[in-house]
Amino acid sequence: MAKFAIYTIPPADHGLYRIGSEILGYDIRAGRDLPAETEARSQLGAFDPAWVSSAAQYGFHMTTAGTYEYDPDALSMETVIEACDMLLSSFNPANVMRLTQHPTEFIWQGGFTGLRYDANPTFQTLHTVLCTYLPRFGINSRSLRHLSDNPTAFGEAHHMAQRTQNFFTPYIFDDFMPHFTLLNPYTGDNPTTIREALWEMIGHVREVEVESVCLVRLQDDANRYEIVHEFHRADYPLPLV
C-alpha cells in the first residue's frame, strides 16, 4: 500500500543530517543508499547493519505528520501539496519554528533509539494542524489496522484509540514526541557504549531551526521513502489568488 507523510529533514549540509544518514545507510535527500562502511558507523565500533533494518527505508527524519496509506489512483500528491501550501500560508512568517533538545536526550525503548527534541509553540501548532487536516487524504494506517484487529489495544487509554480512529495515529497532539530515529532495532549487547558514542557525535546539536518540511511517499513497488516536495518557510505565506 502506498504511503505518504510529512517529515522534518535537516538540510543536506547539516552535520546532524550527514551523521544520521550515514548511520541509517540511506540518503533520502539524494535518493540513494550509502556505502556499508561510513565514518559515522565506524565511530560506533563493530556496527551491524541489522541495527537499522527497520529504520533505513525512511531516511534520517522527524515524522511531523502521518504516516497515511492512500490509493495512488484516487489521490494525486498535488492535492496534498496544495493543502500544505494553504496551511503553511496561514503561519506568521515572523514566528520561528524551533526544536530544542529534550532533557532526557534519547528515546531508548527496546531496540529503538531516537534523539529527542521539544517543539516550540509554532512548530507544535504546525504539527497539530497537519495531523488534523491531512488524514482526510488517507485510507488506513498500521496503527488503525492494529486497532481494527484489537479494539481494546489501548486499554483504558481511550484518547489513544480515538486519535487512531479519527486521525490514523495515537502519538500526536499533546503526546507529540519529536525525535530523529538513529537505530531500529538495536540488538547489540553494549547499549551504554553505543549511546555514549552517539552522544559524542550529535549531542552538541542543542537546537534545530525548522526551515522546511517535506512531503514524502513510499510507492507500492518501492522499498525506500522519497521526497516528493519540500516546503520552505521562506516561500510562505503565498498570496491569495
Residue 1, C-beta contacts closer than 8 angstroms, at least 6 positions apart: 69, 70, 140, 220
Task: Please identify which residue in the block is written with the cell numbers 494542524.
Answer: 129
Q: How far is CA 138 from CA 4, 56, 134, 181, in A?
A: 9, 23, 7, 24
State the average pLDDT over residues 56-70.
97
110 pLDDT higher than 90 = no
The answer to whether 113 touches 87, Cβ cutoff 8 Å, is no
pTM of the model: 0.95
DSSP 34: P
pLDDT at 135: 98
What sign results for the dihedral spanned by CA atoms 85, 120, 234, 20? negative
pLDDT at 25: 98
Task: Please identify which residue in the block is written with the cell numbers 480515538.
Answer: 162
Cell numbers for 146: 492494529
State the average pLDDT over residues 96-103.
96
C-alpha–C-alpha distance, residues 135 and 166, integer Å: 8
Cell numbers for 174: 499533546
The answer to whether 213 touches 235, Cβ cutoff 8 Å, is no
Q: How far is CA 203 from CA 17, 45, 110, in A?
A: 13, 18, 21
Three-class secondary structure of residue 56 per DSSP: helix
Instruction: Return the number of other C-beta atoms located less than 10 Å from residue 139's C-beta.
Output: 15
Q: What is the mean pLDDT of the chain?
A: 96
- Given pLDDT bands bounded at 50, 70 and 90, which one contains residue 156? very high
pLDDT at 68: 98
